[in-house]
């Protein structure tokens, strides 16, 4: 039986590509979560008026990969200390966020955040939001597996 995990870590193209390659991840989808507009489009989200974050929703088999491992990949593959920014991408849709699907995920994410904050890996405090999952809106089809469709490994130079 699979479980879901949802992460916002900047531009969803690269985040999705990172998680898709992990053994135990059975499916990924990019989309929008955490805002107040119903059925937002990419254009809506980029206008900064919806409050949504670009996110990746992951289905995973906990017998093959743990939620803790997914959190490690999340922390290692973006800068959780920058508010509403990842590299050159600036805006509230690029915020660092964990949308938990259960009380267990919440507790695990909060513990992980404390541990990573204390680890010394980051020079500034982690600003990642840890909030309950809300409505996940699938992004437009052309965003799904965007880099894979174009034969790219990453969208960063």
Catalytic residue among 11, 15, 55, 98: 11
11 a catalytic residue: yes
What is the residue whose two structure tokens read 């904050």?
117
Q: Phi/psi class of residue 120: alpha, beta or left (left: φ > 0; alpha: ψ in -120 to 50)?
A: left
Question: Contact, 94 vs 25, CB < 8 A?
Answer: no
Residue 146: enclosing H or E segment and its boundaries?
Answer: helix 146-149
**Nearest by Cα to 77 from 143, 19, 22, 144:** 19
Length of the chain as a residue count:
157
Which residues are marked as active site? 11
């Amino acid at each position: 039986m699979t479980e879901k995990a949802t992460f916002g870590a900047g531009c969803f193209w690269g985040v999705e590509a990172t998680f898709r390659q992990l053994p135990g991840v059975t499916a990924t989808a990019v989309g929008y979560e955490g805002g107040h507009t119903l059925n937002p489009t990419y254009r809506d989200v980029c206008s900064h008026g919806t409050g949504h974050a670009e996110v990746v929703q992951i289905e995973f088999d906990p017998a093959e990969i743990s939620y803790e491992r997914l959190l490690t990949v999340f922390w290692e593959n973006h800068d959780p200390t920058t508010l509403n920014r990842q590299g050159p991408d600036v805006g509230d849709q690029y915020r660092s966020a964990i949308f938990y699907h259960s009380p267990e995920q919440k507790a695990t994410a909060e513990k992980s955040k404390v541990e990573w904050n204390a680890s010394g890996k980051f020079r500034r405090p982690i600003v990642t939001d840890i909030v309950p999952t809300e409505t996940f809106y699938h992004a437009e089809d052309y965003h799904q597996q965007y880099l894979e469709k174009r034969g790219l490994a990453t969208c960063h130079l």
